[in-house]
Amino acid sequence: MRILGVDPGLRRTGFGVIDVQGPRLTYVTSGTIVVPATIPLPQRLKVILDNLRQVAQETQPDVAAVEIVFMNVNPASTLLLGQARGAVLCALADSGLTVQEYTALQIKKSVVGAGRAAKEQVQLMVQRLLALDGVPAPDSADALACAICHAHFAPLSEKLGELNYQSRTSRGRSRVRAGRLLG
Amino acid sequence: MRILGVDPGLRRTGFGVIDVQGPRLTYVTSGTIVVPATIPLPQRLKVILDNLRQVAQETQPDVAAVEIVFMNVNPASTLLLGQARGAVLCALADSGLTVQEYTALQIKKSVVGAGRAAKEQVQLMVQRLLALDGVPAPDSADALACAICHAHFAPLSEKLGELNYQSRTSRGRSRVRAGRLLG
């Protein structure tokens, strides 16, 4: 199974791809989509959409895992971060990928063993778990950590999640309602 | 000029299309994308992405106008709304459309003449300005109001905005940075 992990952000969106065979994890690639802060918001989101679709196209993952972003104390920042995350989820769904979401707590626990781990600890553990020659950069490390988290949860979530998911989708259907003119 | 106005929301995203010839506004179509609340978030966003791209494909607008959503007091709701808005902006940018953003204040002022107008007043003024046979439903009315707002601002923003925009984009460039291994 190949997993694409993503750490969403409006300025920098980290991505990391790993292969999983039983208990064995193998590093495939990682990187950061750096978005210019000087262009209008719709185009900043388009940069994330286009580049992440290209990553998915080039690496052909089986599934994607995305960190559930934390809510900033500043509502304006929360709104911006939400829009960046929306672009990430659109890119992944548009690439035909099922997306699993994990909290920072789940990710840190499954990588470091503790929920309150520092950024440097995550980087070091990602390096160790993937047997890398050096410490990965912060954005890549967070994305790879998210992929590793899914590798740990996948055996369980695949059985539970699928059932759960099917029973939920059979109920909900989207529709486009034409503009009604009332009265 | 054909304008596609959008009122973003995670449960309901309104859209409205109008044609503008000088001072004359003509209604083309409008509607609401109704997203099931029972499916996982990535798929909810995909529903918005797919349906809005289809609207753009079918109506072939020249430009899009989107309301700048208000920030909820609840950070979790703000984050969800941000993600829905991210999907809207991705759909429009992915359809090759330039997107102009307007605040609720700008929209209400240009449609009703006052920034503090009630929802019903907006619906009535949209009906009047577009010479509709009935009152449009709330989501459609908000989207149409956003399109009408752009029709008012466009003659100005086209001249100012383009210059502004070009000088800004020449500076910012996106790039994908490969995962570096430090140390």
- pLDDT tens profile B42-93: 999 999 999 999 999 999 999 999 998 776 678 888 889 999 999 999 999 9
B133 as an active site residue: the answer is no
- pLDDT tens profile B23-36: 899 999 999 999 99
Give the largest Cα separation in chain B, rounded.
70
pLDDT band at residue A167 under the 50/70/90 scheme: very low
DSSP assignment, residue B92? H
Q: What is the pTM assigned to this prediction?
A: 0.85
Task: Give the list of residues 6+ apart from residue B70 with CB closer than 8 angstroms, or none.
Answer: B104
Whether B146 contacts B67, CB under 8 Å:
yes
pLDDT given at position B50:
97
Residue B66 C-beta-side C-alpha neighbours within 13 Å: 25
CA neighbor of B98 nearest in space, from B53, B55, B66? B66
- pLDDT tens profile A88-100: 999 999 999 999 9
pLDDT given at position A75:
83
The residue written with tokens 């046979």 in the block is B133
Type of residue numbered B41? L
Task: Give the list of residues 6+ apart from residue B155 with CB closer than 8 angstroms, or none.
Answer: none
- The domain tally of chain A equals 1
pLDDT given at position A83:
95
- pLDDT tens profile B122-174: 999 999 999 999 999 999 999 999 999 999 988 765 555 444 443 333 345 56
pLDDT given at position A77:
87
B139 as an active site residue: the answer is yes
Query: Contacts of residue A75 in chain B, CB cutoff 8 Å?
Result: 71-72, 75, 78
Q: Which residue has the higher pLDDT, A163 or A139?
A: A139
What does the buried/exposed string (b/e) look like for B78-112 if buried means 16 or more CB atoms within 10 Å of the residue's CB?
bbbbbbbbbbbbbbbbbbebbbbbbebebbbbbbb
pLDDT given at position A170:
37
User: Can you give the CATH number for the domain in which B129 is found?
Assistant: 3.30.420.10
Query: Contacts of residue B98 in chain A, CB cutoff 8 Å?
Result: 42
Among the partner residues A16, A30, A169, nearest to B39 by beta-carbon distance: A169
Residue of A nearest to B13 (CA): A176
Question: How many residues does this entry show for chain B?
Answer: 183
Query: Contacts of residue A16 in chain B, CB cutoff 8 Å?
Result: 179
CA neighbor of B2 nearest in space, from B18, B16, B15, B14? B18
A22: pLDDT strictly greater than 90: no
Q: Which residue has the higher pLDDT, A149 or A182?
A: A149
The residue written with tokens 């994890």 in the block is A25
pLDDT given at position B178:
67
Give the residue ranges of DSSP H helices in B9-137.
Answer: 41-59, 75-94, 104-111, 119-129
Residue-range definition of the domain harbouring residue B71:
2-182
Query: Catalytic one among A19, A67, A94, A101?
Result: A67
Give the residue ranges of DSSP H helices in chain A.
Answer: 41-59, 75-94, 104-111, 119-129, 138-169
Q: From the CA of A113, how many Å to the nearest CA of chain B? A: 23
- Assess B96–A contact: CB distance below 8 Å, yes or no: no
- Assess B6–A contact: CB distance below 8 Å, yes or no: no
Rg value, chain A, Cα: 18
Q: Which residue has the higher pLDDT, A73 or A162?
A: A73
**Is ipTM strictly over 0.85?**
no
Type of residue numbered B119? K
B67 as an active site residue: the answer is yes
d(CA B44, CA A80): 19
Can you say whether residue A148 is alpha, beta or left, with left for phi > 0 and alpha for psi between -120 and 50 degrees?
A: alpha
pLDDT given at position A171:
41
